[in-house]
């Protein structure tokens, strides 16, 4: 199948059918491999990312599902951070948008090649701190494989100064490229790797590219679109809520609560 992005079919997320009560239809008699975004999918979006705590109920749901089929959490957060938030040892974790992957039996690997970008990230971080420390409210957040420049709390007349300085630093490092965000500007490794590539990598690695396995991806982010697109015609994609742009997803769920309801339905079905 041609996987070039021009072949991806997209539509308005509001027109998607709900995934609830459709487990049988979705699975087509196959066993799912379930991929889940974290923020906005398993937890509500909150202002302080440290407060996006997984409820015990959702943790219990994930644990029961993972006893029936492979389950992976795929997030833009650092992998160690997601692991710490979820606290389940029978799941796979793909952090940094898939650059950093771990799983049961001490599996740990970084398949996207991002380690080579660390020196550039370190230097860019120092540059940004120097350029932005005099601007009130500007925050340079270093993640393992990205730098997020936050300007939500910067006075409006100084925002362009933050953006220009960030763009300026970015242009010095060919190893880095910009990433999209809300009131943030992200610098990330300039590599052809994303959540969709990580999903395919995991399917390959776990020997799940088989006719009796169906990949199922649930997420709410623009970065999840890469995974929706990668699975088109090969799996089922479910958009949580809606975003402003068109989506490559097949179904939708309204909320974190509906995600949990769906995962419970799925687990029940697999247990029968
Ligand atoms: Mg999300």
Tens of pLDDT, residues 216-270: 999 998 899 999 999 999 999 999 998 778 999 999 999 999 999 999 999 999 9
Which listed residue (37, 39, 224, 226) is catalytic? 37
Coil, helix or strand at residue 58: helix
40 CA to centre of ligand 1 in angstroms? 4
Q: Is it the case that residue 3 has pLDDT exceeding 70?
A: no
pLDDT at 7: 82
223 CA to centre of ligand 1 in angstroms? 8
**Separation of CA 135 from chain center:** 30
217 CA to centre of ligand 1 in angstroms? 12
SS3 content of the chain, % helix, strand, coil (to 5): 40, 20, 40
pTM: 0.92
C-alpha distances out from residue 67 to 28, 60, 63, 211, 248, Å: 20, 11, 6, 21, 29
97 CA to centre of ligand 1 in angstroms? 11
Q: Is residue 37 flagged as an active site residue?
A: yes
39 CA to centre of ligand 1 in angstroms? 4
Task: With cut-offs at 50, 70 and 90, classify the pLDDT of residue 2.
Answer: very low
pLDDT above 70 covers a percentage of the chain that reads 98
CATH 3.40.50.1000 applies to domain 8-112+193-271: yes
Domain 115-189: give its CATH architecture: 2-Layer Sandwich (3.30)
Identify the bridge partners of residue 119 per DSSP, sorted by sequence position. none
Coil, helix or strand at residue 57: helix
Domain boundaries, the chain: 8-112+193-271, 115-189
pLDDT at 1: 43
Q: Is it the case that residue 4 has pLDDT exceeding 70?
A: no
pLDDT at 180: 73
Beta strand 92-95 with 184-189 is: unpaired
Tell me the Ramachandran region of residue 29: left when phi exceeds 0, alpha when psi lies from -120 to 50, beta otherwise.
Answer: left
């Amino acid at each position: 199948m041609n996987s070039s992005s021009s072949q991806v079919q997209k539509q308005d997320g509001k027109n998607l059918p709900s995934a609830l009560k459709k487990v049988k239809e979705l699975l087509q008699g196959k066993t799912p491999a379930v991929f889940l975004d974290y923020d906005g999918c398993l937890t509500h979006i909150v202002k302080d990312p440290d407060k996006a705590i997984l409820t015990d109920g959702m943790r219990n749901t994930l644990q029961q599902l993972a006893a029936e089929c492979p389950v992976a959490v795929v997030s833009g957060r650092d992998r160690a951070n997601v692991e710490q938030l979820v606290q389940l040892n029978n799941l796979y974790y793909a952090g940094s948008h898939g650059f950093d992957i771990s799983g049961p039996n001490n599996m740990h690997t970084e398949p996207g090649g991002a380690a080579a970008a660390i020196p550039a990230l370190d230097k860019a971080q120092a540059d940004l701190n120097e350029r932005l420390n005099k601007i009130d409210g500007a925050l340079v957040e270093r993640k393992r494989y990205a730098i997020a420049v936050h300007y939500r709390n910067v006075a409006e007349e100084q925002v362009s100064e933050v953006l220009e300085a960030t763009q300026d630093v970015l242009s010095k490092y060919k190893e880095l490229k910009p990433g999209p965000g809300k009131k943030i500007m992200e610098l990330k490794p300039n590599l052809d790797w994303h959540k969709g590539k990580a999903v395919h990598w995991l399917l390959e690695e776990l020997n799940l590219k088989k006719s009796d396995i169906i990949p199922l991806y649930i997420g709410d982010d623009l970065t999840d679109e890469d995974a929706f697109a990668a699975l088109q015609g090969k799996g089922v994609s479910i958009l949580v809520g809606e975003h402003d742009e068109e989506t490559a997803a097949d179904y939708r769920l309204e909320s974190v609560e509906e995600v949990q309801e769906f995962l419970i339905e799925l687990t029940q079905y697999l247990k029968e």
